[in-house]
Amino acid sequence: MERISISLPEKLLREFDRVLREKGYVSRSEGIRDAIRSYIIEHSHISNLPAEIAGTVSVIYDHEKSELLEKLTHTQHEFSEIIQSTLHLHLDRRNCMEVIVVRGSGSRVREFVDRVKTIKGVKFAKLTTSVPEVLS
Residues that bind Ni ion (CB under 5 A): 90, 96
DSSP state of 24: T
Spatial distance between the Cα atoms of 66 and 128, rounded to a whole number of angstroms = 28
What is the smallest separation between the CB atom of 111 and Ni ion, expressed in angstroms? 25
Residue placing its CB nearer to Ni ion in the complex, 60 or 101: 60
Q: Minimal CB distance to Ni ion: which residue?
A: 96
Residue placing its CB nearer to Ni ion in the complex, 96 or 116: 96
Residue placing its CB nearer to Ni ion in the complex, 49 or 61: 61
What is the smallest separation between the CB atom of 121 and Ni ion, expressed in angstroms? 12
**Other beta carbons less than 10 A from residue 104's beta carbon:** 17
* Inter-residue contact 107 to 127 (CB < 8 Å): no
**Other beta carbons less than 10 A from residue 132's beta carbon:** 16
What is the smallest separation between the CB atom of 97 and Ni ion, expressed in angstroms? 8
Starting at the edge strand that comes first in sequence, how are the strands of the sheet with 122-129 ordered? 83-90, 95-105, 52-62, 122-129
What is the smallest separation between the CB atom of 79 and Ni ion, expressed in angstroms? 20
Residue placing its CB nearer to Ni ion in the complex, 43 or 90: 90
